[in-house]
Structure formats: C-alpha cells, structure tokens
Amino acid sequence: MSYQVLARKWRPRTFAELVGQEHVRRALVNALDREQLHHAFLFTGTRGVGKTTIARILAKSMNCEAGVTSTPCGECGACREIDDGRFVDLIEVDAASRTKVEDTRELLENVQYAPTRGRFKVYLIDEVHMLSGHSFNALLKTLEEPPPHVKFLLATTDPQKLPVTILSRCLQFNLRRLPADSIRDHLSHILGEEGIEFEPSALAHLARAADGSMRDALSILDQAIAYGGGKVLDDDVRAMLGTIEDDHVYQLLDALGAGAAAAVLEVVENLAQRAPDFETVLNDMISVLHRIALLQQLPEAWDESWGDEGQLRALAQTLSPEDVQLFYQIGITGGRDLPLAPDPRAGLEMVLLRMLAFRPVSGVSAGSTTAGQSREPQPAAAPAAHKSVPPRTNSAPAAPAKRAKPVPKGAPQQAPNQVAEEHPAVSVAGEANSELAEQWHGLVGQVKLAGVVYQLAMHCTLTAREGDNWRLTLDPPQQHLQTKDRVIRLEQAMCEHFGKPVRLELVVEAPAAETPAARAERLQAERQASAVASIEADGNVKALVDTFGGQVRPDSIQPTD
C-alpha cells in the first residue's frame, strides 16, 4: 500500500477534530445547527491554518445525507465522496491557475442548474485574491444573489487584495496562527496514535519551526521521522533544522552578561564547527531572552517546554532586565539585517558585538573598554562637594570622573569618548564653572553646528578644560542625544573652528552651570513675562478689563524683540 503523508492522513474531517480556530468553529456549528446558512463564506489566514479544511467540512455538513448538521456522519455516500475529493457537487477551483474572466464565466454557466448528487452545489474557490478585476466583476452579481441551491466558499491568504464589493457580500472568518503549544500537543497525539517513539523537546522544536501552520508542522514531522529512521529525537531534529543545543545559547548569554567579547567569539567559533543555520541560532537566543524576561517579571510563569529550568533561572538572576530588553531588541533588529550581511557568521558576530557595544554599564565612560576587555562596572567618582549628582540610570553610558591625557603629535588617534590613560579629574567649582560655562555659551553660537549635533551642544556645558582635552557634561534628561557618531561630529566641528585637534570627553550628569539650552529657555521666559507685564500695565488694557470684565490671555502675547 502506498504511503500517505501525515498532512493528508490526519486532516480533520469534522469540526470536533479541528485544532484551534474555536471562534470559527463556534460560529459555523451554531449556524448549521439552526440551519441559518449564508450563501457566501470567506476564510482568510496564512498558509496551513485550515482554510480549505474548514470549507470541506462545511460542504460535508451541508450535504450529509442525514441532513444539514454540524456533525456529519462520515459514512454516507456524500460524506465519503467529499472526503475522497470526488463529490460532483463540490466544485473546487484554484484561482491562481484560472485567473481569466473567460474561466470565471465558464465556471458560472452551470450555477443555475440544480445539484446532481447533493443538497447544495458548493463552489470552493481557493486563493480567490488571484482572480483578475474582470473576473471579480463577472462573479459579483452571482455572488450577491445566487440561486438557493448554491453556496460559495472562498479562501485566501491575502484578503487586502479583494475588492470591497466582494468582501461586503461574504461572511468573513479570520483564521489565526496556531500557538506552538497546540501544535506540539497535536503532534504528540499523532505520534502516539502512529506508535512512533519521540522526545517532547523535539516536538517543541518542530512546533516553533512550523510558525503557526499545522500543515507545515506535519510536513516537517514527516521529514523528521524519515531523518530519524522512524524516531523523532531531539538531537536528530536539531541537526535536521540546523538548530543548536540550548547549552550554546546559555553560553552566549553568559559571555554577553560578563561583557567578555573574546568568550562570545569563542562560542561562535565552536558553533561554526557544527555548521548551524546562524539565523536560527539568533532566533533561538531571542526565544531564550523572551523566557528570561518572563521569569524576571513572573517567576511563576515557568513552562516545562522551555528547557533547563536551572540555567534559565540562573540567567534571569545574572542578567539585568535592562540588558535582557536591550539584547532582545538588538537581536530582533539584527535578524532583519542578517540576510544583508556578506557572510551569515559575520552577521551574527556583529549582532553579538553590537549587544556588547551598546550595553549600558554603570560607572564606565562610553568607549572606555575594548572588544577584548571585560566591561565590569567601575566605581563612579565622588561628586563635587557643592552639588548633589543624581543616581545614574542604566539607559545611557556612564563615565568616571577621569580626564583624557593630551595626545602627543603623531600618536594614534582614539575614539572621542575613549580615555587613553588615567589622569586625576580637574576639579572646577564656583567662578571656574561659570567662566567655563560662558566660554561654551560663546562657542555654541560661533561653531558651525546644525541639526541634532547642535541640540547636543545646546544641552551640554563645559566643566573642565586642560589644553586640547575638554570635558563636557550632558543634562541627564537629554541623554538620548548622545551617540558616538554625534560626539565625533561635534569634535570635528570644534577642530575645524580652532584649526587644531580638540578631544572631547562627554559624561551624563547634572550640569554644574547653566546649559545654552537652559539659558535660552530662561531668557525666553523672562522676555515673555516682561511682555505680559507690559500689556497688563497698559492703561487702555486696564480700562477694557475694568469696563467689560475681560481677562488678559498670556498665551496670546508674544515678545516683539
């Protein structure tokens, strides 16, 4: 006997056998039980979620010889013929191969004739969005007012391409992607019925690989059975799908948590020897990060299918919630860019190194570590006695109170925020702060700056200056303006203005003096207050207010200077 693939053998034949789609099943069962059947149904959803399967069950329910019912017998001639695909009154059409208007007209020529074998003549049109505009026009009138013995069942993966006139004449059912848990449980049931040995963790990988499609899950399961020689084991499924053991993902996250770039690249080197799918490696790491985030917020949300509970809970304790969210976001963005990389491995390495480069580390200045060094938190310098510095947040790079050493002529250049050697910070307070702040106010107006770089300069203040090495303080609420590229552009503008190298060290902390932006805002507020006071003191305005009980609206007043 010829082998029948699992996707066909285990295709649901009744509503009770459907997996998921409860919202669709409930509506159709109620309509059948009450015999209130619409003449046109539209089923939408991604591939493999059950559009044509539900349509065939509906056709069987309407034509069962026992009567219109939500539980067709499956034994009568009509039920068996529909299951076998040879029922004469179920006309299945693939719209992708019959897009011309002539095909549609030919199809509708026999609509007026009564069914030959069943109770209803059912037209099942798959991928209906592929029909041409003229074909839709030819179908429109019949779809709106068909004979009472005709039912239309339409299925599509792209309902946006259907004309509104077609949508308005159909009952529309949106089929959802199936959850991985539902797919896994169904695969487990099928393998139990088939008597095939399996490991639950292997089914979890298959369910995730199916991406919400039950048909894809059954097709991959067939492949896994063939690959494993009649067994579905975790190692075989991983090898077949190009996935890796969770231990390697845990090792990657451990290395990222420690800030050890060398360890990260060593894990990638070990992975490369197994010839994995690097895109799948990144997706696996994103999935683990999602589980860690759930455990951090809801420790009771553990699921047995997640893997090693001890490892995941240990990572949830080791990694900060901020790091988990940052790694997840960079992983999602990097996954979109991965196909653009010249080499998949290089693309994965760049995503991982990006996680290290942008990882917020308390008390360490931006760029002060190299790829091979561990980014362990360093103690922050004590604030000056005359002010209180607010605690640093994890959302922006911090910086110690250290000054960059002047760079000798001919020495290799470093990144703007990188400190070559440690020097004691130059303490400034009182008049010195005011003098440096005034210098910065003048420079911001003289140096050629534009756009976001100008905004960055406006929210900084100069707190220390030692030769060509300058220390800028950025107001914490504006820390989002600080990026490596913008600091480089600000430094270049300063170099062009002075005609010599200028090195900037930018830290985020409460400024000791007024920033240009704060001064501009204060002066504007003073001008506005002066303008309002001038209007309110005007004799004519006072007379109007006293006579008519009027009010002066400050928001309608603008300074003329």
Contact 134, 101 (CB under 8 A): yes
Q: Domain check: are 219 and 168 in the same one?
A: no
pLDDT tens-digit readout, 44-87: 998 899 999 999 999 999 999 988 999 999 899 999 999 888 89
Q: Does 184 lie in the same domain as 90?
A: no
Say how many residues make up the chain: 561
Whether 89 shows a pLDDT value over 50: the answer reads: yes
Q: Using alpha carbons only, how large is the chain's radius of gyration in Å? A: 35
Q: What is the pLDDT of residue 385?
A: 35
Report if residue 386 sits inside a domain.
no
The pLDDT of 228-239, averaged and rounded, is 88
Burial class (CB in 10 A: 0-12, 13-18, 19+), 44: buried
Whole-angstrom distance, CA of residue 480 vs CA of residue 502: 23
Task: Say yes or no: 17 and 148 in one domain.
Answer: yes
Q: What is the pLDDT of residues 526-543, one digit of tens each?
A: 888 888 888 888 888 888
- 507 and 531, same structural domain? no
pLDDT of residue 219: 93
Which residue, 174, 190, 221, sits at the end of a domain?
174
pTM over 0.85: no
Residue 459 has pLDDT above 80, yes or no: yes
Q: Is residue 561 part of a domain?
A: no
Do 234 and 343 lie in one domain? The reply is no
In a domain, 412, yes or no: no
118 vs 368: CA distance, rounded Å = 79
CATH number, domain containing residue 349: 1.20.272.10
Q: What percent of the chain has pLDDT over 70?
A: 84
pLDDT of residue 370 exceeding 70, the answer is no
pLDDT at 156: 93
Range of the domain at 207: 180-241
220 in the same domain as 111: no
Name the band, by pLDDT with cuts 50, 70 and 90, for residue 31: very high
Structure tokens at 348: 């994965």
Q: Choose one of 222, 241, 260: the last residue of a domain.
A: 241
At residue 392, does pLDDT exceed 60?
no
134, part of any domain: yes
Does the pLDDT value for residue 386 go beyond 50? no
User: How far is it, in rounded angstroms, from Cα 226 to Cα 120?
Assistant: 42
**Residue 397 within any structural domain of the chain:** no
Q: What mean pLDDT, rounded, does the chain reach?
A: 81
The number of beta carbons lying within 10 Å of the beta carbon of residue 76 is 15
Helix boundaries (H) for 259-377? 261-272, 278-297, 309-318, 321-337, 344-357
**Is 33 among the domain residues?**
yes
The average pLDDT across 493-519 equals 87
Q: With the CA atoms of 15, 21, 27 and 33 taken in that order, what torsion angle do they form, in degrees rounded to the nearest 10?
A: 10
pLDDT of 234: 86
Yes or no: say if 331 and 282 are a contact pair by the CB < 8 Å rule: yes
Instruction: List, in sequence order, every residue forming a beta bridge with 151; answer none if it has no partner.
Output: 122
Query: Do 192 and 80 fall into the same domain?
Result: no
Give the three-state DSSP class for 531.
helix
Same domain, 157 and 42: yes
Q: How confident is the model at residue 376, as a pLDDT?
A: 40
Interval 416-434 mean pLDDT: 45
pLDDT confidence of residue 307:
64
161/210 same-domain check: no
Count of helices and strands (H, E) across the chain: 22, 10
The CA angle 492-494-495, to the nearest 5 degrees, is: 65
Question: In this predicted model, what pLDDT tens digit does every residue of 244-282 receive, in sequence order?
Answer: 667 788 888 988 988 889 999 998 998 888 767 888 889
CATH number, residue 154: 3.40.50.300
Say if 418 falls within a structural domain: no
Output the CA–CA distances (angstroms, integers) from residue 142 to 90, 97, 114, in the order listed: 17, 21, 15
237 & 257 share domain: no
Give the pLDDT band of residue 40 (cuts 50, 70, 90). Answer: very high
Burial, 185: exposed, middle or buried (Cβ in 10 Å; 0-12, 13-18, 19+)? middle
Over residues 333-357, the mean pLDDT reads 91
Within a domain: residue 37?
yes
Contact status, residue 274 vs residue 384, Cβ threshold 8 Å: no
- Residue 507 main-chain phi, psi, to 5 deg: -120, 155
> Which tens digit of pLDDT belongs to each residue from 305-327?
666 777 888 888 888 899 999 99
pLDDT at 414 over 60: no
CA distance 328 to 322: 10
**Looking at 338, 357, 376, which one is the last position of a domain?**
357
In the 8-state DSSP scheme, what is residue 318? H
Domain count, the chain: 5
Residue with structure tokens 């570590």?
369
How many CB atoms within 10 Å of residue 317?
Answer: 11
Q: From CA 550, how far away is CA 175, in angstroms rounded?
A: 62
Q: Are 56 and 89 in contact (CB under 8 A)?
A: no
The answer on 342 and 294 residing in a single domain is yes
pLDDT above 50: residue 411: no
Strands 469-474 and 460-466: antiparallel
- Residue 8 CA, chain-centre distance (Å), reads 34
Q: Which residues pair with 474 in a beta bridge?
A: 460, 508
Q: Are residues 127 and 107 in the same domain?
A: yes
Q: What's the pLDDT tens digit per position in 347-369?
A: 999 999 999 998 875 433 333 33
CA distance 143 to 166: 8
